[in-house]
Structures are given as structure tokens and as C-alpha cells.
Amino acid sequence: MAIFNYSKKTVLVTGGGSGIGEALSKQFAINGANVHILDYNLEMAQQVVEEIIRAGHKAEVHLCDVSNQKQVLEIINSIAAKNSLDVLINNAGIAHIGNIEHTTEQDMDRLYNVNIKGVYNCISAVIPHMKEKGGTIINMASIASTVGIADRFAYSMTKGAVLTMTYSIAKDYLEYNIRCNSISPARVHTPFVDNFIKKNYPGKESEMFEKLSKSQPIGRMGQPKEIAALALFLCSDEATFITGTDYPIDGGFIKLNN
């Protein structure tokens, strides 16, 4: 069901082929946006695009490694040549489990390249286009940006950077009517979570799912559509007074988990 009017807007979603990114892509498309999915997994992203088109909405897919600046620039410039660039959602990201003793240099480089450099690459590519008439940027941060979580050393580092990049972009581009906010989810039920449990706790999937669900005070994991609903509002014309703010969507994790 459409809630906001995005009928004249182009929305770029990185990592839009699965999980939260899939929900984002579908929600913006339902609300009339021309959605462009930039994803490293072309097959999954193409499936999402086909579902969107079958439902009567607009979407395109672009094979993209967000850590590759040349590739990002080429893709975003090609989209901008035919469309206005109204919304960028930096959703693409990868995870790592381990404290500093279990984080190799290769792990650090891998997470930096996607979670930090990838966000930088996409923002730097859209800014020149958005400066012409404004735009909105959402960065997907995490509760790990602001609170300590065990065995998430490298991941927390990258998401802390995403949070502070958000503040910097919002401050530096106020005069160009470019808004930048971030969303910080707690644990969200995505295929990543299911695969993690299956790989690390064979035979105990139900038990671990319940345990992880209850780590949120509200007693369950978030749903991708709930994250998408928040992004849909923050990028809308109804939210034009909002910039430079991080929005936890965490089932009470930050404030109530004590």
C-alpha cells in the first residue's frame, strides 16, 4: 500500500537484492519511485527487480561492487544522465564476528572497503548531482555505532564511521538542500541471521533463534519491512525538517537493555 508520493523520484538502493535492502527496494517502488538497485549479487537483485516489475512498479538493476570507485561513478553517472537523483540509501554492508584478537588485517580491509569506502564512494558520486536541486541520503548504521557489543570489533568500527560520516555530510551540504540521516537497527531477521544460526549452531537453530530474539527487550527481532518504513518516511517530503540525525530502531536495545 502506498503511503508517500515518490512518483517523480529516483531512488538508489545499494545492496537492494536481499534482506533489508530488498524490503527498501520494494517499499519505495510501491510508493511510486523509480528504483535502481546496485548490488554485487546480480542474480538475487534481478529477482527483486522482476518481482517489482510484475507488481506494476519501476525498478532496474546494476551489477556493482560499491568498493570500486570507478565502477560506482560510472553507474551513478549513467543513471543521472537519464534521471534526477533524489534519494540514495547506503544499505550495502558486510559483517564480521570476533574481538580484536580474532580480527585479521584482511578482515579489517574487507570491512573497510565495503562498509566505509563503499558508503564514501556512493555519496561522493551522488553529491555533484544532488547539489543542483537537493536530495536525501540515508546511511544504514547500527546500534553497534554507539554501544559496545561483544565480538563485533571490526563491524562496530565501520558502523561508527558510517554514523560520523552522516553527521559530516548533513553539516557540509545544508546550503544545497541535501539531507543526510542514518538508521541504526538492532538485530533484524534476515537470511543472514538464519544462515549464521544454521552454520554455527546446527541442531540448535530454534533455541538460538529464540535467544537472539530475546536479546532485544521487546522480545523479538526487527523485520526488514519495519526498517524500510522508517526510511520511507525519512526520505519523504513530509520529513524535510529532519537532517543530521541517527534513528535507532532497536526494540529498546540501547535504552532498556540493562
CA distances from 169 to 142, 203, 249 (A): 18, 46, 21
Q: How many residues make up the chain in this entry? A: 258
Does residue 83 sit in the same domain as residue 54?
yes
Of the candidates 40, 155, 173, 247, the residue annotated as catalytic is 155
CATH code for position 23: 3.40.50.720
Does residue 77 sit in the same domain as residue 199?
no
Q: Is residue 167 annotated as part of the catalytic site, yes or no?
A: no
Is the distance from CB of 34 to CB of 58 less than 8 angstroms? yes
Is the distance from CB of 41 to CB of 19 less than 8 angstroms? no
Supply the pLDDT for residue 192: 83
For the chain, what is the domain count? Answer: 2
Residues of the chain falling short of pLDDT 50: none
Does residue 207 sit in the same domain as residue 105?
no
CA distances from 183 to 54, 102, 137, 226, 243 (A): 29, 28, 11, 11, 12
Q: From CA 79, how far away is CA 7, in angstroms rounded?
A: 17
Does residue 172 sit in the same domain as residue 116?
yes
Residue-wise pLDDT tens digits, 31-69: 999 999 999 999 999 999 999 999 999 999 999 999 999
Is the distance from CB of 32 to CB of 108 less than 8 angstroms? no
Supply the pLDDT for residue 258: 60
Q: Is residue 258 part of a domain?
A: no
Residue-wise pLDDT tens digits, 196-217: 788 878 898 899 899 989 989 9
Does residue 150 sit in the same domain as residue 214?
no
Supply the pLDDT for residue 85: 98
pTM listed for this prediction: 0.95
Place of cell 541504526: 184
